[in-house]
Every structure is written in C-alpha cells, then in structure tokens.
Structure 1
Amino acid sequence: MPLALENLTVLDLTQVMAGPFCCQLLGDLGADVIKVEPVGRGDATREATGHRLPHGESAAFLAVNRNKRGIAVDLRTDGGRAAFRRLVRAADVVVESFRPGVARRLGVDYETLRETNPRLVHASISGFGQTGPYAARPGYDLIAQAMSGIMSVTGTPDGPPTKSGVPVADLSAGLLCAVGILSACLARTVTGRGQAVDTSLYDAALAMSVWETAELWATGEAPGRLGSAHRVNAPYEAFPTRDGHLTIGANNARLWARLCAVLGRPELLADPRFASNADRVRDRAALAEELTRTLVTRDTDEWVELLLAEGVPAGPIRDYRQSCADPHTLAREMVVELDHPVEGRVRALGIPVKLSETAGSVRRVPPGLGEHTDEILRAAGYTAAEVAALRADGAVE
C-alpha cells in the first residue's frame, strides 16, 4: 500500500520532544525523515537522565524518533555545513528547534537555505517564536504552561497551580508544526515556492486554551482551577466510587435525567439547585456532593456498566499500565512492537491517525547516532573517499 507522504524528504535538526514528535508524525505517514544530530553527543535525549531500557537505550529517545534515518554532522565546521546544504538541495522540508538566532549563526536558517533550494519549506519550533519581546528567551514545556495560563487552571480549586500531567505545550507545538508544514507543502504545489513556518510552545499552549479564553472574554474574569470539572457543563467530571474513581459526562438535560434514574435519585431532578445546566454549573460543589453520596456505594466497573447501558457517557479512571493493555487500545493498534538491534523486542505507541487508502506504518526503529551517515551522503553524491575525509575532519560521524 502506498504511503501518503512517501515523496516527502524531511531534514530533522530538532532535539528532545516537540520537533522530534513533529517529524516522527511525518515519518509515520511515509516521509523520508533524516535525523541530523550533532557529532559526538547526538540528540540530548540520548544521554538525558531518565528511564533506560535493559541494555541502556534511552526510552525518551526511542519514543519520538522512529521512522527516521540518522546522520551525525558538525554544523560548526565548513565540511559539515557544506554536507548539510547538499542534502538541502533534494529536501522538501527542514525542521529546526534552535533558539532564535542560532540557526542563522549555523547557516541553516530559512533565508540562507532558500538560496540553495527555493522550494524548501523551513519550519522552526521554539519556546516563544521567532518574533516578539520573549523570542530570545529559553523555553520549555513547563515555562509555556506557566506563562500561557494553563497551570493557573490546572489542579483543585484549593490547591496550587499545577503542570498538566502530559507535556501539552511540547506535543501540541509538534502537532501544529506538522499541520503548518503540510499546509506549506500544499501551497507550494500552486506557487512553486517554499516558505517559513514558525510556531512555538507558548503559541501552542495558548491555542489549546479555547474554553478558558472564552470564559475570560465573556466574563472579564480570569478562569480558575476546577479540578476535573468542566467550565460550562455539569455534571462533567471525576467522582469517587467504592473502589476507585470514574468519570461522568451528563452534559445535557436528557443525559442528566438518565443519570438521576440510574443512580436512583429522581429527587435531584426536582431540586431547584440543579434545574438547568447553568444551575448545575453554579452549584457544582453541591451537585458533586450529592452524586458522590450515591456513587461510593458501588464499585467503578458496576457503575460504568449501568451508566453505559442507559446511554450516559462514563468511563473508569485508569493508569497507563491498564490503558495500554486495554482490548480497545490493542484493537486500534495503539501499541505496537518493534525489533530493536540493541534492546530486542520493544513496545511503542501506534499511529493515532488512520488513513483508509494510504495508511501510515512503523518501518524503522529509531536510528543509532550516525547510523546512516555513509548511506545518506553517498546518495547525495559524495564518494566513499570524500565521506572518509569528512569523517577524519570531524565534520560527520
């Protein structure tokens, strides 16, 4: 079966999470992604403190670098820059995640590379973007969550500001960058020209704040923390049960009535505090107290079965051990196994977007540092002797 992006060549200069995740998505859908890493040390996640697999490989690196070939280049050397520019001649996309200004100093910025390839789509992911008063600041997911407002609305009302459990700024920046790249590639089919794509962790974090900014601009008040509750619907949150927790989304009058019936609490329908959705949102705490009083009398799975039988959206709260073993997860092929040359059989998350005619696939395990350097440079026109000379000079590895 053909792959949707099989004619797209991407040079991945990024490190850590946002950029590698973006390029992995493109690789999953068929792009030939060439991961360009610094000589000697490679992507920072290769050596980052964190979880290691039994034979020492970085779990973090493996998580976001599959479906890529690897080359190690020292862009601080003349030979390394020349080798990279030769790769740019045949590339469609370059993705970088340097702090603004660094790409220009290394000669891999859009204005420089477009002279080599006017059709090039050049994408930048940074902490705060290429413009604005914060552009030069270092940026991480934590900082973006803090400054965008996400941390101010995460956690319980009486608790401190809290970081989201998953790196939403990093991952959403990677997703949005992939959308920008594909949009620029589509525009190129009309104009014949490439362009620069600029996104940031800060922009992405703000872009995810749809309900929160809606509340701000409607009321003039900064939204606060609600725990697991929803800003405009109730009941729509997590509740304790006898043996754990579950979530319930009864966010309209019909579902509210069905919920009361399943719980055996018809009197709640007549309670003026809960007469409308607006009332239930306003008296959310009292509503949660009433529902909890009943929910703690049975186990989670029993309640979920009863609620789903009546069409009330509900689900148990699970940890990742449970979710990754769930039959639905496996049926959706969201856990896959790969044969790694060092670690043997390893598991990874599957491809979250399914295309009916040009489905993505997991074809390559994450590359070793410089694993495909010779292959890539020979394909770009270098002779074996020239590659050996570059390696001897430290320009490549």
Structure 2
Amino acid sequence: MERAIVQSTRSQHFPGGDQIWPGFYNRGSSYNMLNRNKRAIVLDLKADAGREAFLRLAESADVVLENNSPRVMSSLGVGYEQLAERNAGVVLCSISAFGASGPEAHYTALGSNIEGSSGLVAQTGYGPGERYATGSFHADPIGGTIGALVTIAALTQRERSGRGQHVDVSLLESGASFLVESLLDYRLSGRVAEPRGNRSPRIAPQGAYPSAGDDCWLAVGVEDDGQWRALAGAIGRPELAERWPDLASRRRAHDEIDRAITEWSEQLDHQRAAELLQRAGVPAAPVLANWEIISDPHLYERGYWVELVHPETGLERWEGLPWRLSRLPQREHTPAPLLDQHSDEVLSENGFSAEEIASLREQGVVKETPADVALFIPSLSGPTAPS
C-alpha cells in the first residue's frame, strides 16, 4: 500500500477576541468535513528539528502532497530536491494557483480568482454586461482530482524507472481545461464566448422553470427530437413538437417554448413535475435546496450520509463517498483528527524514539496548540490579551 504525507503549512496566527472558544482550531466545519479518515501530526517546519523530522518521515513515503505557493516548500528546505536526496522514489504533488513556473507563478489567489482567470466567469451570466462567479470555487476540486490522477500516473511510471518525480498542478490550467469548447470555437471561428444563461447550443429547450411553492424550480434539458416530443406530450402541448420539430427551430423559439413549459410547471410541485417528465423519458430533476438534499430519500437509501462523533463538536452528519465498490465493503469512517492528535503515534511508527519525541515537544516543534494561540484566548494569556 502506498504511503503518503499530506502536509499543509498555514499561518499560525488567528484573529482573536474575547468570544473565541478554547480549542476553536478543532471546531472548523470545513476542516472537520474535509479531513475525516486522516491522522494529524504537527511539525514546525521553520525549526531545524521540525524540518529534519519531516524529511525523516518523507524517507519512507511514496507521496508528499502540498498546496502552498511554489516558493514555500523550497524556502522551508523541504522542496523536491531535498526530498529526493532522502528518498529517490518519492513523488511530490504540488497544487498551486498558477503552477510552479511562469510569470504569475508567485501570484496569490483563491478559487474565486481562478474562476475569473480560467475564463469561467466570462461565460457565466444571463446576457451582455453580466458576469457572475459561481461562489463554489470549482477549480479546487478539479485541481485536486487532477492531482490525484497524475500522482497515480507518476507512481506507475516509478515502477518502471525506480524514481519519483515532482507533479506540478495548476488550478488555473485545471479550470481552463473544462472550457476547451469555447477556446476551440474562438480558434476556429473567432467568436468571443458570451454569457448564455441556461441556454445551450446543442440542447433545447434547456432551463430552470418555476414550479409551485416558494422559490421552487424544475430543471429540464432536451437532447433530441424524441425527448422533445415526449416533453410536449407530457405538458399537454403535443402541437409544439410539430411546430418546432428540430433543434434549430427550437433554439429560435426558445422563449416561447420556455413560456409553455412554465405554464405547466408552475402548477405542480417540483418533485412531482420531475417525476412526470422522467416517466415520459425526459431528463428532468427538481432544483433542490440544501435542506431538501439533506432529507432526500434517495441519498438515504444509498447510505450516502455518514454520522460520526467528534470529540469537540459531538455528533456530525457528513457527506459520504459518491461511489460503491462491488468487491470491497464500505470502510469504517473516523472523524477529523484534533490538532496534534496523532503526532506521537506517527513519529513512533516511523522510528522516532520516546526521547526524540519528548525533545521535539520540549522545543515546541510538536505541540497541542497553534503558535501564538494564547495571545487570542484571554483564559490562556491573562489580562493583557488584545480584545
């Protein structure tokens, strides 16, 4: 089984105030969601002893994964060259905003910046002059998925060569790779992509249509003439299929078709409307709010939700894995680890003696709280803590 070190270096200075709950760094919902089924070790990589401990751990690792800006790992003395000196077979997967080379390599960014630079925002909106970000930071999961796939490829290549390599993943390029259609269209025709709302050049009608209830909607997309005839019949307007029988005519009449669908959909609950269209063979689905997703019986039937008891936050219900393996049972899940929860355990497993671990703790290289956290918790720092 491949072994990996998942390492993320973050600022250890936290915004403070009198209302901060002790141990707040173990209570972040995003952290607790994303770090289930992992172990946590704390090392101060700015300290010589922490850097050496990290390199010792890397000696037996197959993969080191990090998502810092390109300058961070090398400046800390744990870049690919230093790792490869200790372990020629290690694969370092680095995921950064703009990649490790190029004039923008050291630019800082969040997912929202990348959505703009990758071209997504330029195509998101309902017409000229409108540009919307999604708010979901699509480049992050796309980049992570690409990083995992390419890391597997690097491990496969290592079986032939015996050597690891540095995998350099750019969030910008990951996001742009999902917009190749508009890039190809520009190269071939010179057309500049514009926001098109819910419309598609290949699917018509397509859109989100209001249904009965408060802010309830129905999503519909028709891919071919057969589905279009089925939709027209399901909404009680079979003459529409005769009037606009093909994609070109439906695209020209999209507004009128949308009005006809809306007249039907707004009389029905979005779940019921989707069920009727699905029975007719039309791709349709209710637009679900977050509370509806949490209570969706289909997800419960598939066992998607996972309930875990976290030592700081108590009972939590989280999203599970979106796949099933027929020959492997569902694994047991564990909650996200507390800061430093497994430091001694992991170090001991990797050859550190009890004396060495104790020394790391005495030096503050391994510790239970983030650096300077006492400055922001009055109960730890006394009356001089800033408010």
Same fold per TM (> 0.5)? yes
How far is the alpha carbon of 1:342 from its aligned partner? 1.6
Counterpart-to-counterpart distance in 1, 2:16 and 2:126: 32
Answer yes or no: is 1:251 the counterpart of 2:251: no
How far is the alpha carbon of 1:329 from its aligned partner? 1.2
Quickly say closer, same or farther: Cα 1:333–1:200, change in 2 above 3 A.
Answer: farther
How far is the alpha carbon of 1:268 from its aligned partner? 1.3
Q: Which of these residues, 57, 62, 85, is aligned with residue 55 of structure 2?
A: 85
Counterpart-to-counterpart distance in 1, 2:269 and 2:44: 59
Quickly say closer, same or farther: Cα 1:206–1:290, change in 2 above 3 A.
Answer: same
Q: Deviations over 1:50-74 (max 9, x none)?
A: xx99x95110111111111111111
| 1:100 alignment counterpart | 70
| 1:58 alignment counterpart | 28
Quickly say closer, same or farther: Cα 1:298–1:69, change in 2 above 3 A.
Answer: closer
Cα pair 2:231 2:282 within 8 Å, conserved: yes
Answer yes or no: is 1:9 the counterpart of 2:9: no
Question: Could you tell me the TM-score, scaled by structure 2's length?
Answer: 0.86
Quickly say closer, same or farther: Cα 1:374–1:108, change in 2 above 3 A.
Answer: same
Quickly say closer, same or farther: Cα 1:279–1:216, change in 2 above 3 A.
Answer: farther
Counterpart-to-counterpart distance in 1, 2:140 and 2:203: 28
Answer yes or no: is 1:230 the counterpart of 2:224: no
Cα pair 2:210 2:218 within 8 Å, conserved: yes
Counterpart-to-counterpart distance in 1, 2:180 and 2:250: 22
Map 1:1-397 → 2, pairs under 5 A: 7-14=1-8, 56=24, 57-157=27-127, 160-243=130-213, 244-271=216-243, 274-358=244-328, 361-397=331-367
Counterpart-to-counterpart distance in 1, 2:302 and 2:173: 31
In structure 2, what residue type is equivalent to 1:194? G
Give the secondary-structure state (helix, strand or coil) at the position aligned to 2:49.
helix
Q: Which moved more, 1:286-295 or 1:146-155?
A: 286-295
Quickly say closer, same or farther: Cα 1:343–1:297, change in 2 above 3 A.
Answer: closer
Give structure 2 stretches of 5+ with no counterpart.
368-387
Q: Deviations over 1:120-158 (max 9, x none)?
A: 010000010011221110121000001111111223226
Cα pair 2:218 2:265 within 8 Å, conserved: no
Give the secondary-structure state (helix, strand or coil) at the position aligned to 1:70.
coil
Counterpart-to-counterpart distance in 1, 2:133 and 2:16: 21
Give structure 1 stretches of 5+ with no counterpart.
1-6, 16-36
Cα pair 2:128 2:194 within 8 Å, conserved: no
| 2:385 alignment counterpart | none
Cα pair 1:351 1:361 within 8 Å, conserved: no
Q: Which moved more, 1:147-156 or 1:294-303?
A: 294-303
Counterpart-to-counterpart distance in 2, 1:359 and 1:187: 29
Bigger-Rg structure (1/2): 2
In structure 2, what residue type is equivalent to 1:10? A
Cα pair 1:114 1:120 within 8 Å, conserved: yes
Counterpart-to-counterpart distance in 1, 2:303 and 2:271: 24
In structure 1, what residue type is equivalent to 2:230? R
Q: Deviations over 1:20-76 (max 9, x none)?
A: xxxxxxxxxxxxxxxxx77x66xx8xx899xx99x9511011111111111111111
Question: Could you tell me the TM-score, scaled by structure 1's length?
Answer: 0.84
Cα pair 1:351 1:360 within 8 Å, conserved: no
Counterpart-to-counterpart distance in 1, 2:207 and 2:264: 15
In structure 2, what residue type is equivalent to 1:247? A
How far is the alpha carbon of 1:218 from its aligned partner? 4.6
In structure 1, what residue type is equivalent to 2:2? L
The aligned length equals 361
How far is the alpha carbon of 1:359 from its aligned partner? 5.1
Counterpart-to-counterpart distance in 2, 1:325 and 1:117: 48
In structure 1, what residue type is equivalent to 2:226? R
Cα pair 1:66 1:362 within 8 Å, conserved: no
How far is the alpha carbon of 1:247 from its aligned partner? 1.0
How far is the alpha carbon of 1:219 from its aligned partner? 3.5
Cα pair 1:246 1:317 within 8 Å, conserved: yes
How far is the alpha carbon of 1:383 from its aligned partner? 1.4
Cα pair 2:130 2:195 within 8 Å, conserved: no
Counterpart-to-counterpart distance in 2, 1:235 and 1:116: 59
In structure 1, what residue type is equivalent to 2:159? T
Cα pair 1:157 1:227 within 8 Å, conserved: yes
